[in-house]
Chains A and B, each alone.
Chain A
């Protein structure tokens, strides 16, 4: 470990490499910035390279307005354009640039912020019900890291979930109490014997560490102006305070390795002035998200690794998974008080664990933001004055909706590969997301809709729409593309998150997931990132 020069302030626009870095982290989303915060706290010299910009926190209110007002079409977080070009094939189109943010903070700038632990069954799906594959580690292995991740993200939650895996202590902050509409759902669920419970949220229910408590802007996804919603800039700031350097707008083009193909020697990155630089380090951690991580490995093909770096197994990019959205919505003949806040306060994990191999996991959500807000109606209306108010009242006020995440199992044909026919702004082949749905996933979507319809019908709702197998879409959780395992022939990283092929290359993020369950992935990403940091630290 070297002493990082104290005057090397991260705010400086200096984008030249650090001379003696211990660790080079690629990507400043939650995975990369947690690794960086942890390793820099242990006084290692850490450099973080992110492809996207540093966003000015003072501009968050403008972004919120852009989100709320039609006509201001500039993307909220700058996604799109040549830098982010991609292809989509395989049967289901995948809207990749709606599903990620490039920049310091990564996709958590845009995310919703629901954070739950995977269940014990998720880690042993094959051996318990003959589905998918087992992880090479179990819930107990990850449990202390889950607890640590909840502290890092200041999770607001309660221990009222009868389906949740065992936990050691309460969440760091109290849960957000249920909404008024939750109480309407609760009655129906009680009759149907569906147990409901709170939602763990990575947003502050109380002010903490100098951060604001949630103040109810209600625009969490895509932007929280108050900063009450967790985003990874918090850990970027911590890493920088510990002396780490975080460089923005420096997309890594490829990783280089030594002659023997045993160790990564440098991350080659481009700067906005068109120059290329080489960042050397003792350890490398790639945390570029579930699509860009495999892409970077594929772009780093060499003589020793003709199919892509760390890809002697041939599975880099394979087993791409996302969660599918299922939903049913309608109207009640009474007010439902939606859209005060932008997050949910009640869920049910009763249908999560799989009874057998007939279906995958279902996570049920009771939405607090069904239907349009008054401004959504008004800004697109073709009437004004009293007629407009009438229309706003018709559209807002009595909507209810349930959502669900549905699990998709890993299948080799779903994958991220390079599309040699298109290149990005640096001339690199773009990622091609090959994605399709199988019958079991469809059946599970139908089952989710069935439960949702039963609840809405029990409430006396007039059901107006359904999102099911035909019109479902991804929940923007890219998983599985550099899977973890003990066998180097069938997996990319070990349970210590290090690639089997290169002894100083660690991958952090949902790309290492073996199966995806139906829980939003970021708490597990954070837990694995902390685990990865421990293992990197052991080697330094």
Chain B
């Protein structure tokens, strides 16, 4: 199942970052560097390295049958980050915490770990069981800003929720035809 840029844009539009997503190129989504100048907002806190970590997390929290994860994550996160500085700082800080944890306990930054170690790292850090809390502990912030952010993007997109049979999930303005269609549509 291929996740597309379109899927990411659909979630962004629904999330109200649509005006940015509609532009030819959301700034951070093309993510050249973490120090890129984003005008008045100062350096973009979510740069290449942060994006890599997000993609690395997505690869373990999304189902394995899904392709196109890097582009989806970059487009989605880029749109969000560009639209909201506070959000961008929250994501960057949570990614930082995850990388610190990975380095301390697994000897390398998160994105550099093998897939199975990345999976383990989330469990060892208790990200699987904590509540998402934007200003909580490191694990709670990782759950909120990293894992749930990615899961929200995925499972409110037509492709992600579509894997469970719901191509027009809550949060997605998928029209008023699909609710009438049977499973064999």
Contacts and interface: CB of A to CB of B under 8 A. Distances in A.
Interface of A: 58-62, 64-65, 68-72, 176-180, 183, 205, 213-219, 225-226, 334-335, 337-342, 345, 368, 373-375, 377-379, 381-386, 388-389, 392-393, 396-397
B64 A61 contact: no
A375 B156 contact: yes
Nearest to B143: A71
Nearest to B13: A61
Contacts of A368: 179
B94 to A, nearest CB: 12
A385 B60 contact: yes
Nearest to A335: B183
B173 A215 contact: yes
3 interchain residue pairs of minimum CB distance: A61-B16, A71-B132, A340-B179
B26 to A, nearest CB: 16
A71 B144 contact: yes
22 contacts: A60-B16, A69-B148, A71-B132, A71-B133, A205-B176, A217-B170, A217-B171, A218-B171, A225-B173, A334-B183, A335-B165, A337-B181, A368-B179, A374-B160, A375-B170, A377-B155, A384-B119, A385-B63, A386-B63, A388-B63, A389-B63, A392-B164
Contacts of B60: 384-385
Q: What does DSSP make chain A's interface, helix, strand, loop or mixed?
A: loop
**Interface range for B:** 35 or more
A378 B151 contact: yes
Contact of A384 (B61, B156, B169): B61
A70 B148 contact: yes
Interface of B: 14-16, 18, 60-65, 119, 122, 128-129, 131-134, 143-144, 147-148, 151-152, 154-156, 160-161, 163-166, 168-176, 178-183
A512 to B, nearest CB: 35
A70 B164 CA distance: 20
Contact of A375 (B61, B131, B143, B171): B171
Given A68-B170, A180-B182, A216-B172, 4 more contacts: A216-B176, A337-B181, A338-B166, A340-B178
A396 B165 contact: yes
Contacts of A374: 155-156, 160-161, 164, 166, 169
B42 to A, nearest CB: 23
Contact of B165 (A59, A62, A393): A393
A378 B176 contact: no
A385 B64 contact: yes
Contacts of A396: 164-166
Given A70-B131, A215-B176, A375 B16 contact: no
Contacts of A176: 176
A115 B173 CA distance: 23
Contacts of B152: 65, 68-69, 375, 378-379
B164 A215 contact: no
B18 to A, nearest CB: 8
